Structure 1
Amino acid sequence: MIATVIHWGTSPEITKLFGVFPLTYYGLLFTGGIALAYFMMAWIYRREGIGDEKFDRLSIYVVLGTIIGARLGHFLFYQPEYLWKAPLEVVLPIAKVDGVYQFDGYRGLASHGGIIGIIIAVILYCRKTKLSFLWVADRLAVVAPVTCVFIRVGNFMNSEIIGKPTGGDYGVVFRLVDAIPRHPAQLYEAIAYLLVFSMMIMLYRRNVKPDGFIFGIFLILLFSARFGIEFFKEKQVAFERGMTLNMGQWLSIPFILIGSALAAYRRKSAVNNEYGHAY
């Protein structure tokens, strides 16, 4: 059998801007993913005749909700002790190294926290604009998986969120971590999210109704993929080692259940509206 091991040891840092601020692949991919989702959402708003003013406000709400939610989610779910031990590192993109604070970027970001932050931001946005939450959520569900793809590729570039050993002479050796062939779990997840994106585009192009159904399917597919791929990942924090399911899986379950309930309820409502007055 021919060995199929890929050795990966690319430095996460491309260069230092002004000799101080690190320019990283993850940062570029994160920004690029948000930018692509932004332009796609702008196209959707124009296609459906929603004014630019409402779209501009949505982009501000969503970007802030994503970053704040993902940052707070990381520390709430994975490192809660930092909330009182090092609150500056929670709020600011810095880290203490040898007793001195240095610019480090926002390295701790949790996707589940990001989703919660976006949901809260959209609720506040809809209260201001009088748009339907489910209408907006459906359209965000179409573009969000693109950003998720870019983020997971960024994790691969960082050699983080690595997979478990494959146990054979195949896999990816993350040379910045060790010399063991491992599952490229980040890429598994990126591919899964690309498939979710394809499904969302198909549902949107078919004009699937009622509002909320696409969002429900999005939650089911995205977090089911996350739940399954977690079995291929190494534990992220020490307290997960004694857990049957890791934190990412436990956090995914409520989203899967909410998505299932929402999709079923909205589909039932559509059927009742269509046939309820037949007699």
Structure 2
Amino acid sequence: MHALQIVWDPASEGINIFGDFKIHYYSLMWMAAFILGWYIMKKIYKHENQTEEKLDSLFIYSVLGIMIGARVGHVVFYQSELIFEDPLSIFLPFKFAGGFEFTGFRGLASHGAAIGMIISMYLYNKKILKKSVIWILDRVVVPVALGAIFVRVGNFFNSEMIGKPADETLPWAIVFKKLDNVARHPGQLYEAFGYIFVFLTLWIFYWKTKKSNQTGFLFGLFLVMLWTVRIIVEYFKEPQSGEDLAAFFGNVLNNGQLLSIPFILIGLYFMFLYKPKVNKA
């Protein structure tokens, strides 16, 4: 093993609360993402003269939409066998097939989370905000980009979504002892660093430019930047299970890359072509 390689071998996967019940670091990262996201949206809502009551509802809609979407997306895109083999485990933090086990909420797909977020914001706008679904999407993407950073750090803690084997001389190659003794690219951290750039760009565009007044621009910019990062980083990551979509297209790109392309195209549309409807008197 090269002297500069990092060995990732955490003594624990989480914090024991009582008995065998444990809150995984991955779950803690999700909690941190939602809490910080709430504070960012509070600042934005204050700037936009929106009430805290609407902010509280936004938090509930966001949590449910993103978590349900992420879980369903993972099952549909990567682990469809669960639908027939262990359907209760899709929405419950337990495994039932092959013996009962507390697993926590694992197996969450970012593409599903994005779809869930869009659907939940549509419902939130229709029931609570009553402005424009694109208006709220232009603003909620700022904390969502920040949350994506924490989620990928959580993946790193879990030694999941690992990178491909790296040159042994690569000084930041990481050996995930939980899995094997192979020096790998820290794909999760590559992606997290990319999302830092996405978050900072959106933050600057919202607070320092007039682009926040262009309906759909920030939402489109988020889609283009986030999923471009995903496509690039996927070249350094091991493919996930269930690469049926990639096989259908000849394995030129993997599932994560193929699923990212429609989001980028939608983002480009909102950045450069979208024209909001104007209510005529």
Question: Structure 1-normalised TM-score?
Answer: 0.91
Please show how residues 26-41 of structure 1 align to structure 2 within 5 Å.
26-41=26-41
Gap regions ≥5 residues in structure 2: none
Give the corresponding residue for 2:226. Answer: 222
Report deviation, 1:245.
Answer: 1.2
1:11–1:158 CA contact under 8 A, matched in 2: no
Q: Distance in 1 between matches of 2:77 and 2:242?
A: 13
Give the corresponding residue for 2:252. Answer: 244
Query: Partner of 2:232: helix, strand, or coil?
Result: helix
Computed over aligned residues only, the root mean square deviation of the Cα atoms, in angstroms, reads: 1.8
Q: Which amino acid aligns with 2:268?
A: S
Cα deviation, 1:135-154, whole Å, max 9, x if unaligned, reads 10010111111100001011
Cα deviation, 1:75-132, whole Å, max 9, x if unaligned, reads 01101121122111112110147x3212111111111101100100000111113121
Give the corresponding residue for 1:277. Answer: none
Corresponding residue to 1:207 among 210, 215, 229: 210
Q: Distance in 2 between matches of 1:235 and 1:214?
A: 30
Q: Distance in 1 between matches of 2:118 and 2:198?
A: 19
Gap regions ≥5 residues in structure 1: 274-279
1:152–1:189 CA contact under 8 A, matched in 2: yes
2:86–2:95 CA contact under 8 A, matched in 1: no
2:88–2:96 CA contact under 8 A, matched in 1: no
Q: Distance in 2 between matches of 1:45 and 1:165?
A: 45
2:72–2:90 CA contact under 8 A, matched in 1: yes
1:67–1:114 CA contact under 8 A, matched in 2: yes
Q: Distance in 2 between matches of 1:154 and 1:12?
A: 13
Q: Distance in 1 between matches of 2:60 and 2:18?
A: 28
Q: Distance in 2 between matches of 1:221 and 1:114?
A: 16
Please show how residues 156-167 of structure 1 align to structure 2 within 5 Å.
156-167=156-167
Report deviation, 1:12.
Answer: 5.0
Q: Distance in 2 between matches of 1:11 and 1:265?
A: 51
Question: Structure 2-normalised TM-score?
Answer: 0.90
Q: Is residue 169 of structure 1 aligned with residue 169 of structure 2? A: yes
Query: Partner of 1:230: helix, strand, or coil?
Result: helix
Q: Distance in 2 between matches of 1:131 and 1:11?
A: 49
2:153–2:189 CA contact under 8 A, matched in 1: yes
Give the corresponding residue for 2:115. Answer: 116
Structure 1 vs Structure 2: percent identity of aligned residues?
43
Structure 1 runs (4+) deviating above 3 angstroms are 238-242
Q: Is residue 194 of structure 1 aligned with residue 196 of structure 2? A: yes
Query: Partner of 1:100: helix, strand, or coil?
Result: coil
Cα deviation, 1:150-200, whole Å, max 9, x if unaligned, reads 010111111110000113322111111111111000000000000000100
Give the corresponding residue for 1:55. Answer: 55
Give the total of aligned pairs. 267
Query: Partner of 1:179: helix, strand, or coil?
Result: coil
Give the corresponding residue for 1:141. Answer: 141
1:220–1:257 CA contact under 8 A, matched in 2: yes
1:220–1:259 CA contact under 8 A, matched in 2: yes
